[in-house]
Structure 1
Amino acid sequence: MNIKRNILLALIASLTLGLAPFHPEPHIWGKIKWIAGGGHGMGLMDYWDTFMHGATMDNSGIFHIYISNKKF
């Protein structure tokens, strides 16, 4: 039961913190498109912001890999 709760918490944190703000498009999606388009006009703070929004999703993925490899 504890593992299911932890997985749910990691998923909710990943979706809410990684994608916020949601309107008109998820923030991380806009940053990824900006970088893919060449990143013209991006400053250091924009790259840091992209890293921080992506870190929640990376941590969630690492958590899921750890849980799936753990023997019960």
Structure 2
Amino acid sequence: MTYLDKFPTATLLVIALTLGLAPFVPEPHIWEKIKMLLAGTLARPVDIFDLLFHGFPWILLALKLTRQATRPN
């Protein structure tokens, strides 16, 4: 987790907002994949890869923010 501590929060936020939401039209890709997952139609390997690829920046950002909130100063 030391590497995550050194990574700037602003950079993670920009990555999550760009890569995590791209393509933006007609709806963010991650939103489409989450809807497919909840509907039970996320079955093709490319769709699973897309969910992981577009979701990874959000997971990193959540880990970073959680670590900052719980780390003693």
- Using the size of structure 2 for normalisation, the TM-score is 0.78
SS at match of 1:19: coil
SS at match of 1:18: coil
Unaligned runs of 5+ in 2: none
Aligned equivalents of 2:35, 2:72: Cα separation in 1: 39
Aligned to 1:44: 45
Displacement of 1:9 after TM fit? 1.3
1:3-62 superposed Cα distances (whole Å, 9 cap, x missing partner): 8x922111111111111110110001111112222216x311211110111111011000
Aligned equivalents of 2:48, 2:66: Cα separation in 1: 26
1:69 and 2:70 aligned: yes
Structure 1 vs Structure 2: percent identity of aligned residues?
34
Displacement of 1:71 after TM fit? 3.0
Structure with higher Rg: it is: 1
- Using the size of structure 1 for normalisation, the TM-score is 0.79
Q: CA RMSD in A?
A: 2.0
